[in-house]
Copies of this chain bind each other. A is one copy, B any other.
Amino acid sequence: MEQRVSLITLGVADVEESRRFYERLGWRASRASVPGVVTFFQAGGMALALWGRNELAADARIADDGAPRFGRVALAQNVRRREDVAAVLAEAEAAGGRLQRPDADTDWGGRVGYFTDPDGHLWEVAWNPHFTLAPDGALKLPE
């Protein structure tokens, strides 16, 4: 299995409502999207998809009791400057997200905060001086 991720699918209650949230953050959907059914966003060399949680559960043959809760997954966006953490969290709140944890310094010398999207999916916003961000936003770990 190659060492890469092609797509992250977020199961959502309402694809259009979720799409509008990400569009208010400035994201633009691919024309591969199907209104009301599925939305795709190019995200670097990968894609983020918004799809009905029922459809995702059925497709994966997994039970879904419908409750909102901790999904044990967090997406993160690493930002270029320490002060960008608070700025992105504020943008997310203004777009209708929920501030999950205000930004604060970390014990590893960075700064992080969290917001959740309209379906409660966790997003971390992080400034990490130990990881390299390329001009195009690609993140490079130490090998």
Contacts and interface: CB of A to CB of B under 8 A. Distances in A.
B91 A11 contact: no
A76 B43 contact: no
| Stoichiometry, copies per complex | 2
A11 B69 CA distance: 14
Given A9-B76, A31-B142, A100 B3 contact: no
Interface string A77-104: 1100000000010011000000011000
A121 B88 contact: no
Nearest to A33: B141
A72 B11 contact: yes
B5 A75 contact: yes
Contacts of A76: 5-9
A44 interface: yes
Contacts of A130: 32
A9 B73 contact: yes
Interface of A: 1-12, 25-28, 30-32, 40-48, 53, 56-57, 59-65, 69-78, 88, 91-92, 100-101, 112, 114, 119, 121-122, 124, 126, 130-131, 133-134, 136-143
18 contacts: A1-B77, A1-B88, A1-B91, A2-B137, A4-B44, A5-B48, A6-B77, A6-B78, A9-B73, A9-B124, A32-B142, A45-B139, A53-B72, A60-B100, A60-B122, A62-B100, A64-B72, A71-B73
